Amino acid sequence: MKKEVEQKAFFSGDLDGRITSWSEGASSLFGFTQEEVLGKIPPHIPKDRLRDFRAIFRTIREGKSAEYITTRLHKDGTVLPVHIYVAPLYDGERLLIGYHGYYEPIEQQNGAQKRTFTNIRTLLLADLAQGQRTINQIATNTGVNWKTVENHLIYLAGKKYIKEIFSSKFVRIFELTPEGRMLAPKEETPEAPGMDIEVKKP
């Protein structure tokens, strides 16, 4: 499926997991209409990702937001890699009543060459094995779109394979943790011929 989705896929749910709002962007991304999902447990979560769903509730009940990379299902059965952000939802009296957030599709394909999540993360870890890097430096060195780099760095940081050592409005710097050094390839970052490079500008 190569349908372009311009809107973010906004959604919200109650503490029982039922969907309470579903934007047009969500319908466009996943193929399910509001009538098909409102008041129901999300139908777009793969069975092997139910652990993600349960983890969301643990995080929400602690009053924390969550952001990570995962997969979801389109109505036609297509598996979609997505970036998800979820935060607690409160009523007017600051009582926790559910969660809300949005999905963004992750483009894995630039030009004619397609990469898997594992390929991309291997590239990022190999580049970071050479030293501290900004998002732009990693994007330039690996030939991966800067936004894709950022999304995968969020995932790797959550797994404790990397850590952010500096952050400002215009630049973020990352380095490997000891766990990440054990996982990172020993060779230099492989080249990525034919890949378009988009570098974030301050």
The domain tally of the chain equals 2
Asked if the structure places residue 200 within a domain, the reply is: no
Last residue of a domain, one of 105, 140, 156: 105
Assess whether 28 and 100 both reside in one domain. Answer: yes
CATH code of residue 71: 3.30.450.20
Angstrom distance (rounded) from CA 147 to CA 197: 11
Assess whether 68 and 139 both reside in one domain. Answer: no
Asked if the structure places residue 34 within a domain, the reply is: yes
pTM: 0.52
Asked if the structure places residue 202 within a domain, the reply is: no
Q: Report the Cα 74 to chain-centroid distance in Å.
A: 17
| Domain region containing 52 | 9-105
Assess whether 100 and 49 both reside in one domain. Answer: yes
Assess whether 14 and 96 both reside in one domain. Answer: yes
Per-residue pLDDT of the chain (202 residues; tens, 9 = 90+): 434 444 579 999 999 889 999 999 999 999 999 999 999 999 999 887 787 778 778 888 888 888 777 788 999 988 888 888 889 999 988 899 999 999 988 764 343 345 677 778 877 888 898 899 999 999 887 777 888 888 899 989 998 999 999 998 889 999 999 998 888 765 433 333 333 323 333 4
CATH code of residue 135: 1.10.10.10
